[in-house]
A = this chain, B = another copy of it.
Amino acid sequence: MSPSKSRTDALMAGEELSSVAQRERRKRIVDATIALASKGGFDAVQMRAVADRADVALGTLYRYFPSKVHLLVSSLAVELERAQEKMDRTTVPGDSPYERVLFVLGRITRGLQRNPHLTEAMTRAFTFADASAGAEVDRVAWLMESMFTRAMSDEDPTDEQKAIARVIGDVWLSNLVAWVTRRATATDVANRLELTVRLLLK
């Protein structure tokens, strides 16, 4: 049982899946997760339901993703990558970092708000993640940070820019959570983000 560990880790990371069949299985699982999450949020992502929908045995699901949190955080990474790619194909308007960051922030936020259940599922998983999902969480955190540093400038970001991006990411996530738990309206979120970016970049 132990010698298979490294192979299993590769499955989790989603890279270098030995066979086509495995890559397809993994994709089916992530797709099923996103579909279920979109329909009913965190609670609707039940491991048996994901396995069923992905046409995979429960044990196989757990071989690919060792927990529900890993599964959802990995799906969040997939979604963020998609958003980043879309953003890369867009020319971000605005001639100051302030304006450009605000544009990116507004766009992604509205994108997520278009799918409240999915957002709820993914953000709750992200913030609930424990140490065992550290790698996946770090990956998402890095995606978020680089999303904002890229908006600030085309050059390599300075340390200060990285710090600012991180703060924005923290505030962004916290407001997203407040929104999915209905403690803040979309307007509240927009206002607070604007205010935060202003404090940091103006």
Residues of A within 8 A of B (CB): 42, 124, 127-131, 134, 137-138, 141, 160, 163-164, 166-167, 170-171, 173-175, 177, 181-183, 192, 195-196, 199-200
Contact = CB atoms under 8 A, between A and B. Distances in A.
A181 B129 contact: yes
Contact of A163 (B134, B141, B170, B195): B195
Contacts of A163: 192, 195-196, 199
14 contacts: A124-B130, A127-B177, A129-B181, A131-B182, A131-B183, A134-B181, A141-B183, A167-B167, A167-B196, A170-B170, A170-B171, A170-B174, A170-B175, A171-B171
Nearest to A137: B183
A183 B130 CA distance: 10
Task: Decide if the interface of chain A is mainly helix, strand, loop or mixed.
Answer: helix
Given A183-B138, A196-B163, A124 B131 contact: no
A128 B127 contact: yes
Contacts of A175: 170
Contact of A174 (B129, B173, B181, B196): B173
A177 B126 CA distance: 11
A175 B173 CA distance: 12
Residue in A127, A141, A164 with the greatest tally of chain B CB atoms within 10 Å: A127
Contacts of A177: 127
A141 to B, nearest CB: 8
A200 B200 CA distance: 7
A192 B163 CA distance: 8
A182 B124 CA distance: 18
A137 B195 contact: no
Given A167-B167, A171-B170, A200-B200, A134 B182 contact: yes
A131 B134 CA distance: 26
